[in-house]
Amino acid sequence: MRGDKLFLFLVSFFALLIVLLFVLFFHQLLCNSIPTWKRFGLSFVFGKSWNPLRNDFGALPFLYGTILTSTLSLLISVVLSLGIAVFLSEMAPPRLRDVLSSLIELIAAIPSVIIGLWGIFYVAPFVRDHLQYWLEPLSFIPLFSGRSLTGLSMLTAIIILTFMITPIISSIMKESLMMVPEDLKEALYSLGARRYEVMMKVCIPYAKVGILGGVILGYGRAVGETMAVTMVIGNSPVISASLLSPGYTMAAVIANEFTEATGDLHLSSLIAVAFILLVVSLSMNLIGRVVIWKWQKQSL
Amino acid sequence: MPSDEKIAIRNLSAWYGDFQALKNINMVIRDRSITAIIGPSGCGKSTFIRCINRLHELKRGAKVEGEVILDGRDVYKMDPVEVRSRMGMVFQRPNPFPNMSIYENVAIGLKLRGIKDKEYIDKVVRESLQKAALWEEVRDKLHELGTNLSGGQQQRLCIARAIATNPEVLLLDEPASALDPISTSKIEDLLVSLKKEYTIVIVTHNMQQAARIGDYTAFFLNGELIEYGKTTQVFENPRDRRTEEYITGRFG
Amino acid sequence: MEMAKTKLIKDKIFTIYCFISLSFAILPLIHIVGTTLVRGIKAVSLEFFISLPKPPGEVGGGIANAIEGSIILAALTMSFSIPVGILTAIYLSEYQDNWFRNLVRLLSDTFAGTPSIVAGVFAYSLIVRKFGFSAIAGAFALSILAIPTIVRSSEEALKLVPIDVREAGLSLGAEKWKVITKIVIRAARPGIITGILLALARIMGETAPLLFTAFGNPEFVRSPFEPVSALPLVIYVYATSPYPDWHQKAWGAALILMLMVLAINLAVKYKLRR
């Protein structure tokens, strides 16, 4: 029996390690960002200017960039993911569904830095040389005004981000849709309804909780995405209404400035940004998982 | 204790949380014989044999009272690991250890005891498979996965696994209920041949099986032991009305 | 009749929309894989694999330092994450649930959602501040990402092992810990290995946590306490540099990385299908 007690002690120790690491995680981030909180207080979160040379730090440009790029890419991705999910769950024969699902999952497996590489050499030039001209008729809307010289802009980041979060959102949507009971659909079809009607009237409402969970999780992923975004967004801490101007996200500024931080306040401010980023993306993650858990309970 | 008594069960009661699965069981298991436990579903038969090798107490909310005397010592006062090492168990669904070969399945009991002598292990594996009437069918594929065998073969593999560690008692919980009739009769023949060496307790929902191979039969109902005696007596001359009703198929 | 016709048109439009959505996902994927192959091949040569980089601006050299670094980081990360992950998974699956176990599970899953760059910041404040840039710091940051994956997949694999396998093991007269380590783990082995491989594929592609932990190194390293390079790091640095030669090398490194990651993922899928 002694062997059993020792073994339990061993595995408990490692489990405890995880709890400790988590506590340490928050602790380190908070403590090392204290200089910033002391200096600016909570107004750091809404501070508009980020100027390392003048020791003036505010996180708003990055919050703005993160939220704008994540939200817009989420909206586009939801539209795309829905189409993909419907196709895979309703229109594709099982073999094709498996192949296509695997392909889409493969997108999520591609390292973010490789997508960023592709973004720099293909998507940014595409935006610079073509897309921004196609959008010219809409330039009366502030969102599409202005011009990008390099193609490194928030619009490019949004395109990349959309592509990267579509796999997770579409796969959860697909699973949710596949859980709709066959007889519900059949009832409507037998009344002469068309596929889009069955989708809109029955399937999507039925699966809406699961779909919502997937969306929230996808949003959490978008918020935390670092490399691909930082390689194409232009990295300029300016709050601009136009998508064609460069921007900055919380993850990107940490990636760019951390190793060259000029002074303690700069570093502590970056760590403060990291803390904010952690809180935002963990909350999204938690909320998403609670929603999905509720969906799983509902479908039992 | 009479010399042919292997196990004496005294005032054995068992609970799952608030539900009492066994109520004050008193009986004996005789040495080197087959004792069959029969009764309708939920009567406590499986709980009963799991109380003998102290598996029941590992379940959540489980409680046991009473004594199970093995060769004069109460198993509940012994180290449970030692108790289990003197017994072997075969389960309702054949369950060879996944991802292990036939050889490894039989050998694992020995290896877990620290036995390292390869020649000895080879010998025991061969003998166990022979006793389980499986050797001829698997001698050329000892290194194939245990789960690749048919249902009946898997169950005989589980029997070989149980006897490899040289137990004194073999507990079988409806070992043939998931098998086809041919495999079932192979296992029944096997058990009859094994009773020369082992004390066998077999839970079965199949009365004909009990009548065929049991030397003694115990009839359980709602957690109580209704009747126990020589199989011929229980089946031909039941003392309790309920026994007679069960045997003639009026319920169960 | 009019309404039926409108409905038919709407349905067709809907179908077309689904197709287009699908192509917006699949076509870029093909383009990315294709361009990485085409442009990466041009960079690959024997020199590419075995030589160290030349100073910025000079043509030639290779990324041997990054290949070595990636291997070192993977080895360090896995040797820490696998034991922690599997033992924690055993703790969660083989013993009865209580509030602490649920807490551990929740925290592990929450760790899984942390942005990789923040894991890097954590490793920086814990290790780099005191000991400087090193492979160990990088491996620590990567472990924060790998451990939750391994815990989750191992716990699932363990839970899939039926209860009567454990009962059969115990009934042989073995102690619980032996049943767990010799029988249950063995039974769950395929699922556990799958989880480990997926975690490996993930961390090999991570860049952000390494930016200020492993930091990068143009030389070969001799100890894990030195800063170290990695494939994703050189892709990032070279791609954002102004030198065309480095751009080409970035594609080459991307090709190697992509092939490795895709190979692991495909191997896992193939294994799961059996």
Main-chain phi, psi angles of C184, to 5 degrees: -70, -45
Identity of the residue in B82, B95, B108 whose CB atom sits nearest the CB atom of C164 = B95
Q: Which residues of C touch B85 (CB under 8 A)?
A: 172-174
Residue in the structure block whose two tokens are 């998982």 = A289
Q: Which residues of A touch C113 (CB under 8 A)?
A: 220, 224, 281-282, 284-286
* B58: nearest Cα among C237, A5, C170, A141: C170
C160 shares contact with chain B (CB less than 8 Å):
no
Nearest CA in chain B to C171: B84
B2: pLDDT strictly greater than 70: no
Looking from the CA of C184 toward its CB, the CA atoms found within 13 Å total: 33
- The alpha carbon of residue A201 is apart from the nearest alpha carbon of chain C, in Å, by 13
* Helix (H) / strand (E) containing C204: helix C185-204
Question: C101: Cβ–Cβ under 8 A, 6 or more apart, which residues?
Answer: A15, C91, C92, C95
Say whether B58 and C174 touch across the interface (CB within 8 A): no
Question: C109: Cβ–Cβ under 8 A, 6 or more apart, which residues?
Answer: A289, C148, C152
* Helix (H) / strand (E) containing C166: helix C163-171
> How far is Cα C83 from Cα C97, in angstroms, rounded to an integer?
21
Identity of the residue in C96, C172, C182 whose CB atom sits nearest the CB atom of B60 = C96
B1: pLDDT strictly greater than 60: no
Question: B99: Cβ–Cβ under 8 A, 6 or more apart, which residues?
Answer: B145, C186, C187, C189, C190
Say whether C172 and B84 touch across the interface (CB within 8 A): yes
Q: What is the pLDDT of residue C81?
A: 96
Q: Which of C164, C171, C192, C193 to mutate to test the interface with B (most CBs of B within 10 A)?
A: C171
Q: Which of A6, A14, A171 to mutate to test the interface with C (most CBs of C within 10 A)?
A: A14
Mean pLDDT over residues C7-32, rounded?
92
Looking from the CA of C190 toward its CB, the CA atoms found within 13 Å total: 14
Nearest CA in chain C to B53: C171
Say whether A225 and C115 touch across the interface (CB within 8 A): yes
Q: Which residues of B touch C161 (CB under 8 A)?
A: 98
Q: In what order do the strands lie in the sheet with B5-16?
A: B19-30, B5-16, B62-70, B73-74
Question: C4: Cβ–Cβ under 8 A, 6 or more apart, which residues?
Answer: none
Above pLDDT 90, what percent of chain A? 50
Identity of the residue in A106, A274, A284 whose CB atom sits nearest the CB atom of C29 = A106
* Helix (H) / strand (E) containing C154: helix C135-160
> How far is Cα A185 from Cα A200, in angstroms, rounded to an integer?
11
Query: What's the whole-model pTM score?
Result: 0.89
- Chain A residues 53-82 with CB within 8 Å of chain C: 79-82
Nearest CA in chain B to C170: B84
Q: Which residues of C touch B163 (CB under 8 A)?
A: none
- Collapsed DSSP state (helix, strand, coil) of residue B42: coil
- The alpha carbon of residue B235 is apart from the nearest alpha carbon of chain C, in Å, by 32
Ranges of H-type helices in B66-206: 80-85, 102-112, 118-131, 135-138, 151-163, 181-194
| Residue C28: CB atoms within 10 Å | 20
Say whether C165 and B84 touch across the interface (CB within 8 A): no
Identity of the residue in B55, B83, B99 whose CB atom sits nearest the CB atom of C186 = B99
Identity of the residue in B85, B95, B99 whose CB atom sits nearest the CB atom of C173 = B85
CB crowding A37-71: b at 16 or more within 10 Å, else e: beebeeebeebeebebeeeebbbbbbbbbbbbbbe
**B99, amino acid identity:** N
* Backbone region of residue C173 per phi and psi (left: phi > 0; alpha: psi in -120 to 50; beta: other values): left
> How far is Cα A258 from Cα A270, in angstroms, rounded to an integer?
7
Can you read off the two tokens belonging to residue A218? 């996808």
Q: For C166-170, which contacts have Cβ atoms below 8 Å and span 24 or more sequence positions?
A: C167/B55, C167/B89, C167/B91, C168/B89, C168/B91, C168/B95, C168/B97, C168/B158, C168/B161, C169/B97, C170/B55, C170/B58, C170/B84
Domain ranges within chain C, ordered by starting residue: 68-229
The DSSP bridge partners found for residue B7 are B29, B70
Q: Which residues of C touch A104 (CB under 8 A)?
A: 25-26, 29
Nearest CA in chain C to A12: C91
> How far is Cα B37 from Cα B33, in angstroms, rounded to an integer?
13
Question: B73: Cβ–Cβ under 8 A, 6 or more apart, which residues?
Answer: none
Can you read off the two tokens belonging to residue B38? 């029969």
Say whether C117 and A226 touch across the interface (CB within 8 A): yes
C95: pLDDT strictly greater than 80: yes
| Residue B23: CB atoms within 10 Å | 15
* Helix (H) / strand (E) containing B221: strand B216-221
CATH no. for C68-229: 1.10.3720.10
B3: pLDDT strictly greater than 90: no
For C181-240, how does the pLDDT look when each residue is reduced to its tens digit (9 = 90+)?
A: 999 999 999 999 999 999 999 999 999 999 999 988 888 888 889 999 999 999 999 999
Q: Which residues of B touch C175 (CB under 8 A)?
A: 81
In three-state form (DSSP H/G/I as H, E/B as E, the rest C), the secondary structure along C225-242 is: CCCECCHHHHHHHHHCCC
Question: Do residues C150 and A261 make contact, with C-beta atoms less than 8 angstroms apart?
Answer: no
Q: What is the maximum span of chain B, computed from C-alpha positions, in angstroms?
A: 56
Question: Do residues C53 and C65 make contact, with C-beta atoms less than 8 angstroms apart?
Answer: yes
C38 shares contact with chain A (CB less than 8 Å):
no
> How far is Cα C145 from Cα C215, in angstroms, rounded to an integer?
18
Q: What is the pLDDT of residue A100?
A: 92
- The alpha carbon of residue C88 is apart from the nearest alpha carbon of chain A, in Å, by 5
> How far is Cα A288 from Cα C34, in angstroms, rounded to an integer?
34
- Chain A residues 7-26 with CB within 8 Å of chain C: 7-8, 10-12, 14-15, 17-19, 21-22, 24-25
Can you read off the two tokens belonging to residue A165? 């979060």
Considering only A1-5, A257-261, B9-13, C244-248, which range has the smallest mean pLDDT? A1-5
Say whether A103 and C87 touch across the interface (CB within 8 A): no
Can you read off the two tokens belonging to residue A259? 């190793």
> How far is Cα A62 from Cα A157, in angstroms, rounded to an integer?
14
Q: What sign results for the dihedral spanned by CA atoms B56, B58, B60, B65?
A: positive
C97 shares contact with chain B (CB less than 8 Å):
no
Residue B76: is it exposed, middle or buried by C-beta count within 10 angstroms (0-12/13-18/19+)? Answer: middle
A231 shares contact with chain C (CB less than 8 Å):
yes
Chain B residues with CB under 8 Å of a chain C CB are 53, 55, 58, 60, 81-89, 91, 93, 95, 97-100, 108-109, 111-113, 158, 161-162, 165, 171
Which stretches of chain A score pLDDT less than 50?
none
Say whether A259 and C211 touch across the interface (CB within 8 A): yes
* Backbone region of residue B198 per phi and psi (left: phi > 0; alpha: psi in -120 to 50; beta: other values): beta
Identity of the residue in A29, A226, A270 whose CB atom sits nearest the CB atom of C208 = A226
Identity of the residue in B88, B99, B112 whose CB atom sits nearest the CB atom of C174 = B112
> How far is Cα A125 from Cα C85, in angstroms, rounded to an integer?
43
| DSSP designation for C180 | I
- The alpha carbon of residue A174 is apart from the nearest alpha carbon of chain C, in Å, by 13
Q: Which of C159, C172, C180, C274 to mutate to test the interface with B (most CBs of B within 10 A)?
A: C172
Q: What is the mean pLDDT of chain C?
A: 91
Residue in the structure block whose two tokens are 């085409």 = C38
Mean pLDDT over residues C96-123, rounded?
89
* Helix (H) / strand (E) containing C120: helix C116-123
Question: A249: Cβ–Cβ under 8 A, 6 or more apart, which residues?
Answer: A62, A65, A66, A69, A157, A229, A230, A233
Pairing status of strand B19-30 against strand B5-16: antiparallel
Can you read off the two tokens belonging to residue B176? 């043939």
